[in-house]
Structure 1
């Protein structure tokens, strides 16, 4: 882009480092560099490749055309998979909601629901209700302040202060809660069991 804007009749240039950086900054100020985001640029590039592929296929043998189409489809599929992973990761990294829903329920009730869900193989529900039981139980025991809108991260921070030796396990359980409830990730039986075991251990402390 930079060289294309220089007059062809000019002699070869040998700019200094400062001059080259200045030219680059001036070039990047042009609006075409700021009109599209990365995804749009990729889509535009793919459209160009499709147009070129169609034009080239009209003059190529059938076997070569088939091979080119196959490679192109693999590239498109790989790009779609990559974009879906990026969007999902971004959503998981930014989305966080409160631990408790708008309901009045005791820790024992939540734990009973978690145990029932675990027995039925509903591991995600067991993990979510298990972490909620853990949080409510610590509120009932006076180890946490009653903050209805608290996020899992905030609950984990408060629990880590109350139980510093369990900081890693508490943080891991809170991360699993967010990933399962707000990140649409599946949960395993082992993950749900880890959260329930942490509730049991903290419940037995004085």
Structure 2
């Protein structure tokens, strides 16, 4: 069969089920693919926003560690050694300094509910000191000091008085010992409520202060000025 222009060939009708090659340019094809992939059915099992954030965080940590391992002396092994050294240093500081505390020591009586005399507190303090129980020795010596000041009427007996209040009140009448009294109150609070540990030097200072206060004469409050009429 001869067609137009002298070309000879056989023509075949195109059926509906036949595959027809379609020449689509690159940009429309990419847009069509993006539109198809935006269908929610393709994202039913995707991680949620939180999970994606966590995954990105761990990727960042991994990259950071890889970079540190590359720059650390000895590579990954050197990084492990450095990490162990830092961990040991942190543990040593924690053990030496104790747990950080921000407790405000208020409303806690230095004498508690006890009725011991000053001499009984001193005897208990010396017993603890002989056994090197310095924290307990500091506590008992501070209680002896406050009880002694009450017995001498330097301080008026007042239930619930804290160590800091006792030091402040006594310091007004014994100004020469105001500084050591405040220091003694801080040591007592740190040991009793702050989880600190006293040592022999702390007890020795408190013991010397207690002995000095036994002979210290308090200032008398000045009375009203008197004038003579002429």
Tell me if both proteins adopt one fold, taking TM over 0.5 as the criterion: yes
| Partner in structure 2 of residue 201 of structure 1 | 212
Give the TM-score of the pair, scaled to structure 2. Answer: 0.57
User: In the aligned structure 2, how far is the partner of 1:83 from the partner of 1:121?
Assistant: 23
| Partner in structure 2 of residue 19 of structure 1 | none
| Partner in structure 2 of residue 94 of structure 1 | 104
**Comparing both chains, which one has the higher relative contact order based on Cα–Cα distances under 8 Å and sequence gaps of 6 or more?**
1
Q: Pick one of 116, 120, 124 that aligns with 1:105.
A: 116
Q: Which runs of 5+ in 2 are unaligned?
A: 1-56, 218-230
In structure 1, the residue corresponding to 2:81 is in which secondary structure?
helix
Following TM superposition, by how much is the alpha carbon of 1:184 offset from its aligned partner in structure 2, in angstroms? 2.1
In structure 2, the residue corresponding to 1:94 is in which secondary structure?
coil
Which one has the bigger helix percentage? Answer: 1
User: In the aligned structure 2, how far is the partner of 1:191 from the partner of 1:148?
Assistant: 26
User: In the aligned structure 2, how far is the partner of 1:138 from the partner of 1:178?
Assistant: 19
| Partner in structure 1 of residue 152 of structure 2 | 141
Number of residue pairs the alignment of both structures matches? 158
In the alignment, is residue 151 of structure 1 matched against residue 177 of structure 2?
Answer: no
Alignment map for 1:177-188 (pairs within 5 Å): 177-188=188-199
Q: Which has the larger radius of gyration?
A: 2
Check the 8 A contact 2:134/2:200 in 1, yes or no. Answer: yes
Cα deviation 1:86-130 (Å, max 9, x = unaligned): 983433x63453212222211111111112212222221111100
| Partner in structure 1 of residue 48 of structure 2 | none
Following TM superposition, by how much is the alpha carbon of 1:165 offset from its aligned partner in structure 2, in angstroms? 0.8
User: In the aligned structure 2, how far is the partner of 1:166 from the partner of 1:59?
Assistant: 61
User: In the aligned structure 2, how far is the partner of 1:180 from the partner of 1:47?
Assistant: 43
User: In the aligned structure 2, how far is the partner of 1:100 from the partner of 1:109?
Assistant: 12
| Partner in structure 2 of residue 68 of structure 1 | 79
**CA distance 1:50–1:166, change in 2 (3 Å):** same
Q: Which runs of 5+ in 1 are unaligned?
A: 1-45
In structure 2, the residue corresponding to 1:159 is in which secondary structure?
helix
| Partner in structure 2 of residue 168 of structure 1 | 179
In structure 1, the residue corresponding to 2:171 is in which secondary structure?
helix
Check the 8 A contact 2:98/2:195 in 1, yes or no. Answer: no
| Partner in structure 2 of residue 114 of structure 1 | 125
Give the TM-score of the pair, scaled to structure 1. Answer: 0.63
**CA distance 1:205–1:88, change in 2 (3 Å):** same
Moved more, 152-161 or 117-126: 117-126
In structure 1, the residue corresponding to 2:186 is in which secondary structure?
helix
Following TM superposition, by how much is the alpha carbon of 1:131 offset from its aligned partner in structure 2, in angstroms? 0.6
**CA distance 1:151–1:49, change in 2 (3 Å):** farther
Following TM superposition, by how much is the alpha carbon of 1:66 offset from its aligned partner in structure 2, in angstroms? 1.3
Two-structure CA RMSD over aligned residues (Å): 3.4
| Partner in structure 1 of residue 200 of structure 2 | 189
